[in-house]
Amino acid sequence: MPALDPRVTPLRDDLAAKYLEGKVKAGRFVEGSGMEVIAPQAPLRHERRPDAPLHTEALKGEQVTVYDRDAEGWAWVQLNADKYVGWLAAGALGPAGAPPTHRVAALRTFVFPGPSIKLPPIEALPFGAKLNIVRMKDQMAVTSSGFYVPAAHLKPVGEKETDFVAVAERFLGAPYLWGGKTMLGLDCSGLVQIALTASGLPCPRDSDMQEQALGRALTETERSSRLQRGDLIFWKEHVAIVRDGESLLHANAFHMAVAAEPIAQAVARIRATGAEITSVRRITLA
């Protein structure tokens, strides 16, 4: 059988997901239990230590499957949306609540303990976090936990963004962070994932996965003609979003930020590091 990708396969020498039984070897197999991210954002790491490299981030309201916990407060999980596997702080998780009704559509919003914005907020939520809203009170949305969020910062979960490039453009200037997925820091594939997800298109986490799964590869003839807004340009371990025929947008370590630059300039600069374009893919949103 093909090699299993360890990034999205809940498999260790001592433990694996029950659905892998008969396919892999492990000390034991477990069903796992469903839980929900209750922290505004939770780092998912390869190792169970706070200084381990960041794989990705799970956002509030995200559903996960927990396969293991340790005595030091770590949970080994698989994210239900993009299937990424890693260690989360167990304190960032809680029982799965009522299904989310709304998502955060602002780059960042505050959660207040009461109906006044003059109250000290209890937490700040990133773009893409999900909430169960039970009612509206004046200009505030009331969560199932009894907290208040500015209604203007939310959209129903079923309301899709119509231009994923415009979503990505809102993050211009956000700092670069390997594995990040919020305005406080994000990487190239994280930017693509959050923009496409908000537009209703499921998206893998890493750029190599995105290159395999998203859209269709353009032919050399198509690539040599004018690129379209929303085309994705891939290099090894990098992805950029075409804004128009002349410019692109990407989170990158050269600028240490989400930046826009001319396509020709970016291609030449990256080529100087020894990397060539591996493909250009065209995305079609329903």
Interval 151-207: pLDDT, tens:
999 999 999 999 999 999 999 999 999 999 999 999 999 999 999 999 999 999 999
Cα 218 from Cα 45, distance rounded (Å): 34
Q: How far apart are the first and last CA of the chain?
A: 34
Read off the amino acid at residue 230: G
Q: Map residue 284 onto helix, strand or coil.
A: coil
Question: Helix, strand, coil % (nearest 5) of the chain?
Answer: 15, 35, 45
The average confidence (pLDDT) of the chain is: 96
- Pick from 134, 84, 129: which is nearest to 104 by CA? 129
Token pair belonging to 212: 């395999």
Token pair belonging to 246: 């002349």
Quick check: 2 pLDDT over 90?
Answer: no
Position 3 scores a pLDDT of: 81
Q: How confident is the model at residue 286 (pLDDT cuts 50, 70, 90)?
A: low
Which has more pLDDT, 245 or 267?
Answer: 267
